[in-house]
Each structure stands twice: as C-alpha cells, then as structure tokens.
Amino acid sequence: MLGGLALVLPALFFFRATFTRDVFLAGDTLRAFYPMRAYWASRVSRGEFPDWFPYDGFGQSFPAIFISGVFHPTALLHLVLPLGVAVKLTVLLCFPVALLGTAALLREWGVPRAGALFGALTFTFSGYLVCITNNPTYLLPASTVPAALWGVLRFVRRPSAARLTVGGGLLALVAFGGDAQAFAVTQALGVLVALTEPVTAPGTWARRVGACLLLVATGGLLAAPQLLPAAALVATGEPGARSLVEAQYFSLHPLRVGELLLGPFLTDPVGVRGIPEMAVRKLIRMGGFTRAWVDSLYVGTPACVLALAGLGASWRQRRTWVFVGAWLLMLALVLGSSLPVYGWVYQLLPLWRPFRYPEKLGSFLVLGLAVGAGLG
C-alpha cells in the first residue's frame, strides 16, 4: 500500500507534469541540468564515456564537475526517452524515493505506521523539496538522504555484507546526485546516527565504531568515481567559494525561518517569480542575487507541533538532545551570514571551503522536523 501511495500521491501533486506535456524548466533545470544531461546522452549513446566537457571555458573533466551527476542511474533514462521527458521523470521519481526512504527510516526507529506516513508526507511535500525542482542537481541528493540514513541504521544494528553494500551504495547515491556538501553532511549524520544508537553489550562500542568507519569508507569507495576527479580538480583549481563572503551567498534570512510554520508569506500569489525581486533586494538580501535559493521552506504548523511533542516524549533520552543539537547547528549554518557559525566552520574545516550557499542545507532542517513529527 505504501508503495502505491508513493507513486500516486506525487503523480497527483504534480498533475500538470504527469498528465500534460509540460516539463520542468525553472532555474538551473534549464540553465545547467538540461545541457549536462544532453551532453551525457550524446556521448554515451555513441558508446563513448563523457570524460571531457568542452563547453565550459577551455574545457574540463566532466566527472570532475560534481554537479554533472555523470554516474547517477537516472541518467540512463536519457538513452531511451526524449530529453524533456527524461528530466521530468527524473524529477518525479525523487518524490517516491523521499517518501519511501523517510517512512523506512521512521519505521526502523519503531515509529508506528501512521506516524511514519505523516513524517514521510511532511518531508516529501515540504516547501523545500517541492521548490528545489528548479534544480534537480540538489533535489536528487536531498530525496535520497532519508534512505541513506535508513541504510546506516540497519547496518549498525545488525552488520552483514549485504547491509554494508546497501548502506554504502545509498550513501554513494547521494554523491552521485551531484551535491558534494550533501554527501559530506549525510556521512556526518550517518556517524551521528550510528554512535547514538544504544549499545547493549560490553565491548560493543569498539565494534560499533569499527562498523561506523567501515560504512563511511564503503560509501566513499563506492562514490570514488565521482569523488576522485572532483578532488583532483579541487587540488589544482579554485572551485566553489573563493572567499567567506562568496560562500555565504544565498544565506537564509532570519525572517524566513517563520516559513517553516507559516508557509511562503513573502511570495507573490499572482506572479510566477515566487519571492518578488523587490523583496529580495530590499528585505531579505541574497548577496547580490535577485532571487532566493528556494521560495519556500514550509513544513506546517501541525508538523512543528508534533515535533515538539516528540521532543517532550523523549527528552530523557541522551540521543534526543544530540539530535536537537545537530538540528540547531544546521539551522545556524543555514542562516549563514546572519550568524558567525558558518564562518567558524569555514575557517576551521578546510574541506568545507569549496562549499557555498548555506540555504542548500535547508533540506536537512526540513528532514529533522519531519522525523521529529513522525516521532511525535
């Protein structure tokens, strides 16, 4: 039944995409995703590996462009479907993946079916996930994160070769989506999930840490075809953010935190722009950009209330406060230039410096509230 809902509900929610010839075109979907997928298909359909991308400056390694998603399995759709239809199906498939992954994660934590379904629906149809259809490069990893954490949890509870393969593969799939920062954060969250899982037998801690390191290494090794070329580019070039100021473009304005409860109150209900350019320039200031990263972070008041109820029901558990602390840290990072926290992380962690646009981390904020709502 859940599988059927996971297919039917997104199809109905995006009814124009499902039942008409309309395709997704907004934002970087048209500017970046279409051209890179078209180039991938043109090379692979001739039996060639897309190793070099000649259309960016003097050209560069195509796998080294992390956002190319050259190894993501949805790219195979472009070998059998027209470009627009393949991109449409890629976007639509993200929502069943998000729903099933979130429900599986919550069920693994012992949440009843009703709570797991509510949490899954909250994340799947959150403002962030719906609005990031303007950039499938970030929708693909965001929708896979819950399933990756489910894979981590299953492996640390009962390690086996099969579960290691599944867990590592799901972690690698986050990287293959095209967002290096989401992969790094998911790995960190996976470690947090693993280390906060209760240990019941003496001497199990050493095995738990070993299993955790093994899973992280497996995810990294499986993602190596994408990670290694990107690492070589980082070592020889100047990718991503060249300064802290540039890294903090697209910081979430504190005023917009209220969207989690109230919805996108700054958007223009008549126009097609989302948050109007005037509001961006005068009110929320996006570091020189005239648009927001996403036009909504909406989760809903019921979900936020249930998340608080879940906190109240489990406040005696130590790991509850570890997760609350992680969520608050994520909020501080998403706020970017409004707080000094992003700058501290930027200075202390050299591997964080190529990343930019704090609002990209909004999917983790939304996922945290959705999981909390399911637990509540």
Q: How many domains does the chain have?
A: 2
- Say if residue 350 is in the same domain as residue 282: yes
Same domain for 64 and 93, yes or no, is yes
Q: DSSP string of 173-234?
A: HHHHHT-HHHHHHHHHHHHHHHHHS---STTHHHHHHHHHHHHHHHHHHHTHHHHHHHHHHH
From the number of C-beta atoms within 10 Å of its C-beta (0-12, 13-18, 19+), residue 270 rates as: exposed
Q: Are residues 263 and 301 in the same domain?
A: yes
Residue that is last in its domain, among 206, 238, 270? 238
Same domain, 142 and 279: no
Query: Taking a C-beta distance cutoff of 8 angstroms, is the pair 370, 122 a contact?
Result: yes
* Residues with Cβ within 8 Å of residue 12, at least 6 apart in sequence: 18
Distance of CA 129 to the CA centre of its chain: 9
One domain, residues 197 and 343: no
- Same domain for 35 and 136, yes or no, is yes
- Of the three residues 238, 271, 306, the one that is the final residue of a domain is 238
Q: In the structure encoding, which two tokens stand for residue 165, read together?
A: 């393969």
- Domain holding 51, by residue range, is 1-238
Q: Kindly state whether residues 252 and 352 are assigned to the same domain.
A: yes
Per-residue pLDDT of the chain (376 residues; tens, 9 = 90+): 787 888 999 999 998 988 988 888 888 888 889 999 999 999 999 999 999 988 877 788 899 888 899 999 999 999 999 999 999 999 999 999 999 999 999 999 989 999 999 999 999 999 999 999 999 999 999 999 999 999 999 999 888 999 999 999 999 999 999 999 999 999 999 999 998 887 766 557 788 888 889 999 999 999 999 999 988 887 776 665 578 888 888 888 888 888 898 888 777 665 556 677 676 666 666 666 667 788 889 999 999 999 999 888 888 888 888 999 999 999 999 998 889 999 999 999 988 888 889 999 999 999 999 999 998 7
For residue 60, what are the β-bridge partners?
Answer: 53
> Do residue 219 and residue 248 come from a single domain?
no
Contact 177, 137 (CB under 8 A): yes
Q: How far apart are CA 128 and CA 298, in angstroms?
A: 7
3-state secondary structure of 46: coil
Q: Are residues 173 and 28 in the same domain?
A: yes
DSSP 335: T
Question: Does residue 257 sit in the same domain as residue 109?
Answer: no
What pLDDT was estimated at residue 270? 57
- Statement to judge: residues 209 and 356 lie in one domain: no
SS3 at position 38: helix
Q: In terms of domains, do 306 and 281 share one?
A: yes
A 10 A CB-CB count for 209 gives 13
Among residues 209, 238, 267, the one where a domain terminates is: 238
- Would residue 209 be called left, alpha or beta, if left means φ above 0 and alpha means ψ between -120 and 50 degrees? alpha
